[in-house]
Amino acid sequence: ETGVTQTPRHLVMGMTNKKSLKCEQHLGHNAMYWYKQSAKKPLELMFVYSLEERVENNSVPSRFSPECPNSSHLFLHLHTLQPEDSALYLCASSQDHTTGLPYEQYFGPGTRLTVT
């Protein structure tokens, strides 16, 4: 399944670095999501974009900055991260965020981030 791709797959960065995660969906969807997956914790929704506008931001620290230039691409810009930010970052897309229909989210493989 290559509907949602993420790069890089693995990233190691120091606390003073700046890096970006990239997500691309080839499914014709118009909503995209960033999730954080940490060991032994529920999946945490970070950001939601619908029709390229941010519709949800779940109290995520400002050191994470999302960007959605078009409906197919989503970025997560990272700067001044902390070791506790080490996790698997998952991107997802769906057909529609707003209609209330039981839409399905399609996930990418994730970027494994380690902050040293």
Distance separating alpha carbons of residues 116 and 114, to the nearest angstrom:
6
**What phi and psi values does residue 65 have, to the nearest 5 degrees?**
-130, 115
Choice between 16 and 100, CB closer to another protein:
100
Contact flag: residue 108 with another protein (CB under 8 A): yes
Contact flag: residue 95 with another protein (CB under 8 A): no
Distance separating alpha carbons of residues 107 and 60, to the nearest angstrom:
20
Contact flag: residue 1 with another protein (CB under 8 A): yes
**What is the secondary structure of 27-70 as a DSSP string?**
S--SEEEEEEE-TTS--EEEEEEETTEEEEE-S--TTEEEEEEE
Choice between 1 and 84, CB closer to another protein:
1
Contact flag: residue 2 with another protein (CB under 8 A): no
The residue from 56, 61, 96, 114 that contacts another protein (CB under 8 A) is 56
Contact flag: residue 105 with another protein (CB under 8 A): yes
**CA distances (Å), origin 109, targets 5, 24, 43, 62:** 7, 11, 14, 24
Contact flag: residue 22 with another protein (CB under 8 A): no
Give residues in contact with another protein (CB under 8 A).
1, 4, 6, 40-43, 45, 56, 90, 92, 100, 102-110
